[in-house]
Amino acid sequence: MASIEKHGPSYRVVWRYQGRKQRTTWSIEELALDAKAIVEGYRGNRTAEQVYIDMGVIDPDIGPTVPTFEEYAQKWLPAKTGITPGTRAGYKAQLENRIFPAFGKRRMDQITATDIGTLLNHLHDPDEDDEPGLKNTTVTRYFALINQIFEAAVRDKFIIDNPAEGVRYKRDQVEHDDTGEPTQIRLAPAEYKILLRAFDPEDRPLVELLAATGARWSEATALSVAHVRPATEPGAKDRIRIWRAWKRDGKGGWYLGTTKGRRRRDVPVRASLMTTLKSRLADRPDDAFLITAPGGGPVHYSNFLQRRWNPALARAMRCAEHPLADRGGPREEPGRRRCRDYGGTNDRGKPCGAITAAGMTRCHDHMGPAPDAVSTCDCLGVLRRRPTPHDLRHTHAAWLFSDRRMTPLAISRRLGHAQLSTTSEIYGDLMPEAEEAAVDALDDLLNDDQG
């Protein structure tokens, strides 16, 4: 009743209606097949204009058009389900900042695997201002977003295939010139104890909580009093219930949602951690935050990092027996003068220009060692590396992998990874014991057979 003819790069659906030849033209074969099915469904009683309308083409004179990447992405993003507001806002920023400028104005059927690969390589490379390129994990997120959009366009039959599938790109791939050195800092128990002692007593519970549970920052600071589950039976372990985490709301704020990967877990913990937390449990409502800021609200990462973590880290990296040189001191000239600062700014990054005390070369903020100055001696009891709060999660994982009783699957569940492969990708260098154990098992088996 209707037939499809190949006409250059296009496909034509041809049929007769009331003795007159009808014809529609389509950019891809799948659309032509759909139009042919419509015609045959009406037993040929349909004009070309009616078929165009049935296919969703508003202007039959223009014919079917494939949207640009930007046009389609702007419709796809509001319709995307199963993501948080923060993720949606992140997608929007990725599209507007990097992807749309690259090929947003081009039709989706004209974008090739080469175009996508060029963008990914550009994201890896430093920019014109010598700013460093994006990390592999960040570029992976861009690739995943582009791939999602093209997959959706294939399902919506705007394009035949997904050009992103032709890009040789692996998740969090390692570059050919990458030495493979881990960027994580995994503290040895002795190093961790040095760091912990450097914190003020009121800050230690949060540090201990991160190191003892392997929780993410967003999870640890979202805990409430009710999430601490003391053991109720002899021999049982106390547990921390990690069921929620802070999420971005896409408007510059935060809200409490489920954990990353929606992996709720009850984590057994050492009795010493429960002893540390007891003071935060007594006479407090169940919905109160377990760890709070000095004012009583939730702990914000940037505030904790600048006001608590970095000063403690500096103390841990300084030797008491070898004091660091002061930046200022007394001067012979009497009277009050301007601070002889280091580069024109104070410790908070503001112009100094402060009046010094009589007979001193610097103001109060610029006395003593520089904020980032650390000891260079070889004395014991001094931390030599600069971990971040998230490195306590890596430290926790390293401690678990060092114990042969812990299996990778058990560690993966404790860390809240959605898949065991995620644990393997992040901590694969910590698993040589598993391969050695496999060799031992084969030796034992074969030796038994020979005996």
DSSP for 103-126, written as a single string: HTTSBGGG--HHHHHHHHHHHHS-
Pair (77, 48) in one structural domain:
no
Domain containing residue 248: CATH number:
1.10.443.10
DSSP reduced 3-state for 194: helix
Residue 349 domain-assigned (yes or no): yes
Residue 310 domain-assigned (yes or no): no
Pair (139, 74) in one structural domain:
yes
Q: Nearest Cα to 214, choosing from 429, 413, 408, 421?
A: 413
Phi, psi of 10 (to 5 degrees): -110, 170
Whether pTM exceeds 0.85:
no
> What is the model's pLDDT at position 293?
92
> What is the model's pLDDT at position 288?
93
Q: What's the DSSP call for residue 95?
A: I
Side-chain half-sphere CA neighbours of 203 within 13 A: 19
Domain count, the chain: 5
> What is the model's pLDDT at position 384?
92
> What is the model's pLDDT at position 305?
94
> What is the model's pLDDT at position 62?
45
Side-chain half-sphere CA neighbours of 271 within 13 A: 4
Pair (198, 286) in one structural domain:
yes
Count Cβ neighbours within 10 Å for each residue of 208-229 and write b for 16 or more, e otherwise. Answer: bbbbbbbbbbbbbbbbbbebbb
Residue 126 contacts by C-beta under 8 Å, 6 or more apart in sequence?
132, 133
> What is the model's pLDDT at position 179?
42
Which tokens in the block code for residue 102? Answer: 């690259």
Pair (102, 201) in one structural domain:
no
Residue 290 domain-assigned (yes or no): yes
**Domain interval for residue 207:** 189-304
Residue 174 domain-assigned (yes or no): no
Rg over alpha carbons for the chain, rounded to the nearest Å, is 31
> What is the model's pLDDT at position 61?
47
Pair (243, 291) in one structural domain:
yes
Pair (92, 128) in one structural domain:
yes
Residue 202 domain-assigned (yes or no): yes
Which residues of the chain are modeled with pLDDT < 70? 56-65, 126-131, 170-182, 327-329, 332-333, 335, 340-351, 353, 365, 371, 431-442, 445, 448-451
Pair (260, 331) in one structural domain:
no
Q: Nearest Cα to 386, choosing from 215, 239, 195?
A: 195
Pair (349, 294) in one structural domain:
no
Domain containing residue 88: CATH number:
1.10.150.130
Residue 53 parent element (H or E)? helix 48-54
Pair (151, 245) in one structural domain:
no
Pair (48, 73) in one structural domain:
no
Distance CA 399, CA 345 (A): 42
Residue 151 contacts by C-beta under 8 Å, 6 or more apart in sequence?
162, 164
Residue 271 domain-assigned (yes or no): yes
Residue 42 domain-assigned (yes or no): yes
Distance CA 426, CA 421 (A): 9
Side-chain half-sphere CA neighbours of 71 within 13 A: 10
Pair (161, 194) in one structural domain:
no
Residue 252 domain-assigned (yes or no): yes
Pair (47, 86) in one structural domain:
no
